[in-house]
C-alpha cells in the first residue's frame, strides 16, 4: 500500500491540497513505512500519467 500526502514542508499535511509544491508518498509493507518519495506538484495537465506511473491509485 502507498500513502500520499500533500505537504509544503514534507512534515506537515497541508490543509490546501492544490496549493502545495510537492507530494510525499510513503510505501507501507506489513504495517510499517519502508521508504519516502517526494514528487514536485505538476501543473494542471502538465504531467499526465504521474499517478499511474508511480502506482498510486485511489483506495477503494
pTM exceeding 0.85: no
Closest CA to 25 of 56, 58, 60, 59: 56
The single residue listed with the C-alpha cell 504521474 is 50
pLDDT of residue 60 exceeding 60: no
Q: Please report, rounded to a whole number, the percentage of residues in the chain having pLDDT higher than 90.
A: 18
**pLDDT: which is higher, 3 or 18:** 3
Dump pLDDT digits (tens) for 32-44: 999 999 888 766 5
CB 4 within 8 A of CB 20: no
In a domain, 14, yes or no: yes
What was the pLDDT predicted at 48?
Answer: 56
In a domain, 43, yes or no: yes
Residue 33 lies in domain: 2-53
The mean predicted confidence, pLDDT, of the chain is 77
In a domain, 60, yes or no: no
Kindly state the DSSP code that residue 15 receives in the 8-state scheme: S
What was the pLDDT predicted at 49?
Answer: 59
Q: How many domains does the chain fold into?
A: 1
Amino acid at each position: 500500500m502507498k500513502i500520499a500526502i500533500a505537504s509544503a514542508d514534507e512534515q506537515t499535511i497541508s490543509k490546501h491540497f492544490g496549493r502545495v509544491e510537492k507530494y510525499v508518498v510513503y510505501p507501507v509493507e506489513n504495517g510499517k513505512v519502508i521508504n519516502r518519495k517526494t514528487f514536485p506538484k505538476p501543473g494542471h495537465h502538465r504531467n499526465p500519467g504521474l499517478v499511474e506511473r508511480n502506482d498510486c491509485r485511489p483506495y477503494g
